[in-house]
Amino acid sequence: MGISELSDRTESTVRFSEVDAMGIVWHGNFAKYMEDGRESFGRKFGLGYYDLYDQGLLVPIVNMNIDYKLPIKYGERIVIETIWKNCAAAKIIFNYRILRKSDRALFMTAQTTQVFLNNKRDLELCNPDFYQEWKKRNGVEIL
């Protein structure tokens, strides 16, 4: 038996350029916060863009699903939680939660799904060796 999820937490402050005419973060900018979350996760666990790229792997996003709970205002201090979820298929699945730092109010939950492309940009139907090894190193159950 191994663990089934791994998580990272990073923080950010909402920039003036990220809010819209209503004074709240424009909905499309959440993709940036989620990218900040994935990159922070990647640095912590060795699953960053270059870690994969050096293995000849690209991991494009094939689905992104965001639920917006509360508006976020300019200047607010936010916490981005990025939770990697184990799955048997050749996919990388992350869940996200963005919270206000001060009172933990929940701004957003989301999920992204990524697939593996090899260096010919063909879809990998099985989990690449690198990814299986990465799971083992991190104590994750191989499904």
Q: Is 45 in the site for its own copies (CB under 8 A)?
A: no
Taking the complex as a whole, how short is the minimal distance between the CB of residue 1 and its own copies, in angstroms?
33
Furthest CA-CA distance within the chain: 50
Q: Is 57 in the site for its own copies (CB under 8 A)?
A: no
Residue 141: strand, helix, or coil: coil
Q: How many residues does the chain have?
A: 143
Residues 105-134 that bind its own copies (CB under 8 A): none
Name the active-site residue from 8, 20, 36, 103: 20
**129 has catalytic annotation:** no
Residues engaged in binding its own copies (CB under 8 A)? 13, 15-17, 19-24, 26-29, 31-32, 35-36, 39, 48-50, 58, 60-68, 71, 74-75
